[in-house]
Every structure is written in structure tokens, then in C-alpha cells.
Amino acid sequence: MVVIQKEKSKWYLCNPKKPKPLIKLHDKYFKPFLSEAQILAAVKSVAQKVAADYKDETPVFVGVLNGSFMFVADFLKEYQHPCEVSFIKLSSYQGLTSTGIVETLLDPPDNLEGKSVIILEDIIDSGRTLKELIHLFNNTNVKEYKIASLFYKSEVYNGEYAIDYIGIDIPDKFIVGYGLDYDELGRNLREVYQLNEKHMINLVLFGKPGAGKGTQAEFLKDQYNLKHISTGDVFRYNIKNGTELGNLAKSYMDKGDLVPDEVTIKMLQDEVEKHTDASGFIFDGFPRTVAQAKALDEFLKTKEMRIDATLALDADDEVLIQRLLERGKVSGRTDDQDESKIRNRFEEYNQKTAPLQAYYETQGKYHSVNGIGAIEDITRRLGKVIEEL
């Protein structure tokens, strides 16, 4: 259940069922910030406050384009009294920042003399645009004018002019949606998203065969803009494409020897460096030993990165055995069709993972997650751990 709470004109989204994924506009990622319900509640609040002051006359509402068009439309639905509507257009933003130069692209209407005007702004931050608005309406013969802003960044507003009606006081973060844009994208979003500032999250994903690591990695990488690095996939790619590292790894494998850790680490390093735009990585299938975990930590230090958490999908052996036997009927994999071989793989996993679990537990980074249930339920459990990081 989504619960909306209000405290000193600031709004909070409590207990969401499932974290919503990031969205990408041009080259930037944005994360959910305000729900449609929160926004509409704030719009209604502003409309009620204005109505209390102007219900006995016919005010003129002047929307500031382009950002305010959704606000104006929903505001008018809530304002149940006689009124007039017009628009003005100003501009100062390019990309993520203000140019500092405010241009008037559409002048105020001419028929405002003697009327009360309420300017409907989508957002007020530094106050540069507001200053230009005040200048424009000072040169008209209106009865009075007031300012209503749906979003208000009190942290950065210079306080030069009074803002009469405020919807939501928000932090000084770049937002899109509900009329607001990033280089013209995002205006049509019903909710408001906040710029996802770079915060690297690196995960190690553990799980016995059949625990659903691959499935969950796909969901997590999309939801958090992470790069899924499967050691098996990396090996197959390098060997298939005859890379220098692939040929080196194959030379050991052909002799029946284990591929040295430094070769595997170098492959992983190449994968990390291919994806510098990722918000983090999911390491799947590596590390398998404490020595490998230490080697991975040393490599990540050179990139000013670290492992933030290890997520272990915990599942009952008997449930997984049945899952693998069913999978074996479809996949044709012989190691999924023999129960004794499956149990041997589980035992090998337990032996190798136990020291790793202890290694990461001492760092406070080991998290066991229930891996039984519907896929979306497991994803939600994993997401809860990640959200708390």
C-alpha cells in the first residue's frame, strides 16, 4: 500500500510495494521521486488556497510555459470558480543548468488591466525567472498579482520576492516529468523523476544451481543500470573470439589445468572498462574462493570502487533439485537430469561458498535472501537490500 505523508509542505512516499526502475532520457538516468498521487494532492492544495482568496471575483491565471502546462490543466480542474486563463513563455534552461539569461518568448496578454492575476509556475529555484516575471507584471495595470509555484526549492531561492502559494518544497535536485523536461524529453511523464547522481553499486551474486541467479541478474541490471558480468559468459566470449586472454585461458583448459586467477581478473577488468557508463556491476560466478575475492577487492581499489554487498539466494535443496530435474527435461543438460550429480554440485558449492561467506560477513557485506517464491517476490527482496545500501 502506498501512503502519502505531509510534513511542513514536504511530501514523502512511504512503503512502496516495489522500487520502480530508473528511466533514461538522452544520456542521463533518472529515479522516481514524486508519485502522481502526491503531485495531484499538492495541486489540489494550491487550488484550494487560491480559491479561499479569490472565489468572490474572477482572477486571471497565467501559466508559465512550457513547464507549467500540466500544472495549469490539473489546477483548473480543481478550481471550481469563475476564472480566466492565459499563458506567458520564458526560458533560461539548457540541459541540466540555467543559462542565467531569461528570455521572454511570449508576452503577457493585453487585457489584464484592473484584474487580479495569479501566475502559475511549475518550479521556482534560484529566482531568476521569477525576477523577470515580476518585472513584466510591474509594467501592467493589474489590480494585483500573486505567485503560485507547484515545486519550490527553498534551499537555493534567493528570497527576493514573496511566493504566495507553494505546492511542494523539494531538495535542490534536477527533476523531470509532469511538464518539466531534460532537453525537451520527459514532459509527458505523469510522475516526477530526480536525476540519479552517480553512485556506484557493485554486487556479488551467489546461489546454488537452479537458484535463479541469471533471472534475477537480468531484472537487477535493468532496474539499477548495472552491468551483469557472468564469468562463464566472459570466458565463452573470449575463447570464441580468439582474444589474447581467451587463447591463454584455453591453453590451460586444454591441459586440464585451472585458469589462473590473474587471467580471470584481467578478463573481468576488460569488461569493467568497457562499461564506464554503468552505475555498477553484478559479478556472477566470481569470486569462487577467498583468494579470488581478495584479488577482486584489490582490482576494484585501483578503480576507486569496492564490493558493496554479496547477495546469496538461499533455497531448500529439495526444491532446487526438483527445479533442476524439470529444467533438465527441456534443456537436455545431463548434469540436470541426474539427482546424484546435482547433489554433488550442491556439496561442492557449499564447500567453496562457506569460506567466502565468512570473508564477506566479517566486512558486513553478506546478505542471505530467500530465493523461493514468485520471481517478482524474490526480485523485491533483493531490491530491498540494494535500496538500503
215 among annotated binding-site residues: yes
306 among annotated binding-site residues: no
Q: Is 250 one of the catalytic residues?
A: no
327 among annotated binding-site residues: yes
236 among annotated binding-site residues: yes
Which residue among 327, 352, 365, 380 is the active-site one? 327
Which residue among 49, 55, 146, 345 is the active-site one? 345
285 among annotated binding-site residues: yes
Q: Is 345 one of the catalytic residues?
A: yes
Question: What residue type is assigned to position 225 of the chain?
Answer: N
Q: Which residues contact 167 (CB under 8 A, 6 or more apart)?
A: 9, 42, 43, 45, 46, 148, 149, 150, 151, 152
Which residue among 128, 288, 352, 381 is the active-site one? 288
Q: Which residues contact 240 (CB under 8 A, 6 or more apart)?
A: 246
Q: How far apart are CA 179 and CA 89, in angstroms?
A: 13
How many helices (H) and strands (E) the chain has is answered by 11, 17
The answer to whether 214 and 291 are in contact (CB under 8 A) is no
286 among annotated binding-site residues: yes
21 among annotated binding-site residues: no
Give me the helix-helix angle, 244-254 and 231-240, nearest 10°: 100
Q: Is 221 one of the catalytic residues?
A: no
Which residue among 20, 333, 343, 384 is the active-site one? 333
Q: Is the omega angle on the peptide bond into residue 66 within 30 degrees of 0, that is, cis? A: yes
Which cell goes with 283? 559479478
308 among annotated binding-site residues: no
Question: Do strands 309-314 and 203-207 pair parallel, antiparallel, or not at all (unpaired)?
Answer: parallel
Q: Is 213 one of the catalytic residues?
A: yes
231 among annotated binding-site residues: yes
Which residue among 213, 221, 227, 323 is the active-site one? 213
What is 240-270 written as a DSSP string?
HTT-HHHHHHHHHHHTTPPPPHHHHHHHHHH
- C-alpha distances out from residue 372 to 167, 215, 352, Å: 43, 13, 22
Q: How far apart are CA 302 and CA 180, in angstroms?
A: 39
Give me the helix-helix angle, 290-302 and 261-274, nearest 10°: 40
The answer to whether 182 and 95 are in contact (CB under 8 A) is yes
127 among annotated binding-site residues: no
95 among annotated binding-site residues: no
211 among annotated binding-site residues: yes
Q: How far apart are CA 4 and CA 20, in angstroms?
A: 17
Q: Is 89 one of the catalytic residues?
A: no
Binding site residues for AMP, as ranges? 231, 236, 257-259, 285-288, 292, 333, 345
Question: Which residues belong to the active site?
Answer: 213, 288, 327, 333, 345
Binding site residues, as ranges? 210-215, 231, 236, 257-259, 285-288, 292, 327, 333, 345, 373
Binding site residues for ATP, as ranges? 210-215, 327, 373
